[in-house]
């Protein structure tokens, strides 16, 4: 075929710069020449994240009455949090999806444990509810502020020393970050184990005549559930499952770090609030809405 005829065929295929009959042009050609897309969901650190979720779900199944199994599975899930970061750096697979998956998994697992503590220790439920709210609000506001203020291409952990010295230390020093997160979780795990210790710690609910309201091994059937567990029955089932010495020691050792972690959460929420307010002032000024005295 003559060269001119070939050129005319090419011109027909690319009328007005648009592909005809699905023929790729421009960036689409370059995209296809690069080969198949990477499957971000199958990156090694993300696979570790999925394993963490499975372990957390299984630990929730054992949480009401099997403290040792639950604590082991929950602890392994938390420790894998450090491994996925190592894998991301080792295989150069740090992704925004992985960062969000990691944060959401951390928030959900801690929340589930605190919900159990709130139900097992109703006298302190307001404290546990407050800790849940602080944890979720602090991390959500920090993540949103990072994205809203032009940090789409940077990690939420990139906090300068000028912004906050304590947050810079917390996020940039891997040892501080690991120890803080590990001992914070250990504190709540220890409180969880105390729910299964001596009745002096978790008093069993006994009726005034000395009899139990219902036995967990032989519950009274109901109209909706053939084998219901009342709160009183669950309380009795948890009592005297283990000695309270080790959980108390773990609670005392980890409590200062838990307090430090909550302080970091407060600082993080305050700094994120100021950062967002600064952006609001800037936007209002550009829009001519700012009012000055």
* 6 in a structural domain: no
- Residue 81 is a catalytic residue: no
125: left (phi over 0), alpha (psi -120 to 50) or beta: alpha
Cα-to-chain-centroid distance, residue 188: 15
Q: Which one of the listed residues 84, 102, 106, 135 is annotated catalytic?
A: 106
* 14 in a structural domain: no
Which one is predicted more confidently, 163 or 215? 163
Highest mean pLDDT among 24-33, 177-186, 199-208, 239-248: 177-186
pLDDT at 31 over 60: no
Token code pair at residue 44 = 């090694």
First-to-last CA distance in the chain?
79
Element (H, E) at 127: helix 125-148
Structurally, the chain folds into a number of domains equal to: 1
Question: pLDDT digits over 38-71, tens only?
Answer: 999 999 999 999 999 999 999 999 999 899 999 9
* 35 in a structural domain: no
Q: Give which of 111, 258, 131, 113 is closest to 184, Cα–Cα.
A: 258
* 158 in a structural domain: yes
The C-alpha R_g of the chain, in whole angstroms, comes to 28
* 7 in a structural domain: no
Q: Are 248 and 194 in contact (CB under 8 A)?
A: yes
Q: What is the reported pTM?
A: 0.77
With cut-offs at 50, 70 and 90, classify the pLDDT of residue 149.
confident
* 192 in a structural domain: yes
* 240 in a structural domain: yes
Range of the domain at 137: 40-212+231-280
For 83-95, letters b (16+ CB in 10 Å) and e give ebbebbeeeebee
Mean residue pLDDT across the chain: 81
Q: What is the pLDDT of residue 32?
A: 52
Q: What is the CATH number of the domain that holds 253?
A: 1.20.120
* 219 in a structural domain: no
Q: What is the pLDDT of residue 206?
A: 43
Query: Phi first, then psi: what are they for 25, rounded to 5°?
Result: -135, 165
Which one is predicted more confidently, 263 or 12? 263
């Amino acid at each position: 075929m003559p060269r001119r005829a070939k050129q005319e065929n090419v011109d027909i295929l690319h009328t007005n710069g648009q592909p005809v009959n699905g023929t790729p042009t421009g960036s689409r050609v370059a995209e296809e020449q690069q080969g198949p897309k990477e499957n971000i969901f199958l990156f090694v650190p993300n696979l570790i994240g999925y394993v963490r979720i499975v372990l957390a779900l299984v630990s929730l199944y054992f949480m009401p009455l099997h403290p040792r199994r639950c604590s082991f599975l929950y602890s392994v899930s938390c420790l894998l949090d450090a491994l996925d970061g190592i894998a991301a750096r080792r295989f150069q697979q740090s992704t925004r999806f992985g960062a969000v998956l990691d944060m959401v998994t951390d928030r959900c697992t801690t929340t589930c444990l605190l919900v159990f503590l709130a139900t097992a220790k109703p006298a302190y439920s307001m404290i546990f509810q407050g800790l849940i709210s602080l944890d979720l609000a602090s991390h959500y506001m920090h993540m949103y502020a990072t994205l809203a203020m032009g940090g789409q291409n940077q990690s939420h952990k990139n906090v300068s020393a000028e912004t906050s010295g304590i947050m810079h230390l917390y996020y940039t020093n891997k040892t501080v970050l690991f120890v803080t997160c590990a001992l914070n979780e250990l504190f709540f795990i220890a409180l969880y184990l105390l729910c299964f210790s001596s009745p002096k710690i978790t008093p069993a609910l006994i009726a005034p005549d000395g009899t139990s309201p219902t036995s967990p091994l032989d519950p009274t059937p109901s109209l909706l559930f053939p084998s219901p567990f009342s709160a009183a029955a669950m309380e009795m089932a948890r009592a005297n499952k283990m000695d309270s010495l080790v959980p108390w020691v773990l609670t005392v050792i980890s409590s200062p770090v838990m307090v430090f972690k909550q302080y970091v959460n407060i600082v993080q929420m305050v700094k994120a609030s100021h950062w967002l307010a600064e952006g609001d002032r800037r936007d209002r000024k550009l829009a001519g809405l700012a009012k000055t005295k």
